Amino acid sequence: MARALEAVDSEHPEGTPGYDNKGYSVLQQHVQFFDRNHDGIIYPWEIYAGLRAVGFNVVLSFISAISINLALSYVTLPVPTFFARAFKTSLFPIMNNTAALSADSIALLPNPIFPIYISKIHKGKHGSDTGVYDTEGRFVPNKFEELWTKFSNTHLQKLTFKELMGMIDALRVAWDPFGWFANKSEWILTYLLAKDEEGLIHKESVRGVYDGSFFYQVENARKKKALAKQKFKM
Ligand code: HEM
Ligand SMILES: [Ca+2]
């Protein structure tokens, strides 16, 4: 059964111990680390700051922040977008609710500073993904387990880079360049962030990427390390 609030698997039937879900869906939890000032909106500079906080370099953080905000801002706007409305009215004129069509309730143009609204982040789901998040942003445990039974063939509950690439390839659906690109980027970022010294990514780190708890773990570990270094110098 899909779980709205907890990223559960067979080893963690209660989700992440001690992690406050704040009533957010698991997909909202995945992105809320990047809402640095906790106002429910994620701006490009916040994604940049979040990526720097987990250790990505300036160039990768800058490029990723711009592309993520460009890709997700319009679709997560809190008012109905012009394209969504046009699609519905042209295909289903009978179901068209004219009252909802007043011009001020429709976002015609993207917001020029590209905010991402956490309340509507589930609208950012794309094709060629694993299906671990459903279209409402809930966590689907059996899809998550499937990744490890299907693709982790050489090490128990760990993926090699080659296995990960094989997985991304297996997920591709037809004529979906946006989804192919988005999915590959998400998994490459995950690999760079979570790989161990042998170049493997663990089931538990990936579960933490899904509910966002892994981002906090990495940030805290980096802070501790920096502090220890400072003390050592003094
Ligand atoms: C280090 C940073 C990040 C990593 C490692 C990462 C990784 C991932 C992974 C592994 C998935 C699941 C893909 C799948 O199930 O096939 C995912 C999905 C998603 N991520 Fe991220 N992500 C990061 C940052 C962000 C940011 C900053 C946002 C937006 C503010 C974001 C929005 C999303 C959305 C909307 C999905 C759902 C896509 C779907 O399932 O179709 N991610 N991400
Ligand atoms: Ca914010």
In this predicted model, what pLDDT tens digit does every residue of 190-225 receive, in sequence order? 999 999 999 999 999 999 999 999 999 999 999 999
Ligand sitting nearest the alpha carbon of 135: 1
pLDDT for residue 104 is more than 70: no
Q: Categorize the per-residue pLDDT at 84 as very low, low, confident or very high, splitting at 50, 70 and 90.
A: confident
Q: Give me the phi and psi of 155, to 5 degrees please.
A: -130, 145
Ligand sitting nearest the alpha carbon of 118: 1
First to last CA, the chain: 53
ipTM of the prediction: 0.99
The upper half-sphere exposure of residue 231, i.e. CA atoms within 13 Å in the direction of its Cβ, equals: 6
Kindly tell me the number of DSSP H helices and DSSP E strands found in the chain.
Answer: 9, 4
Q: Give the nearest ligand 1 atom to 131 CA.
A: 15
CA of 84 to the centre of ligand 2 (A): 25
Residues bordering ligand 2, an ion, CB closer than 5 Å: 35, 37, 39, 41
Closest among 117, 116, 119 to 25, alpha carbons compared? 119
Closest among 213, 26, 49, 6 to 118, alpha carbons compared? 26
Structure tokens at 199: 């170049």
pLDDT computed for residue 80 by the predictor: 73
- Give the number of other CB atoms < 10 A from CB of residue 186: 16
Q: What percent of the chain has pLDDT over 90?
A: 82
Q: Give the nearest ligand 1 atom to 171 CA.
A: 16
* Encoded amino acid at 133, one letter: Y
Please give the Cα distance from 71 to 92 (Å, whole number).
27
137: DSSP letter: S
Closest among 215, 223, 225 to 42, alpha carbons compared? 215
Please give the Cα distance from 204 to 187 (Å, whole number).
15
Residue 65: partners with Cβ closer than 8 Å, 6 or more residues away: 44, 45, 47, 48, 51
| pTM: predicted TM-score of the whole model, two decimal places | 0.93
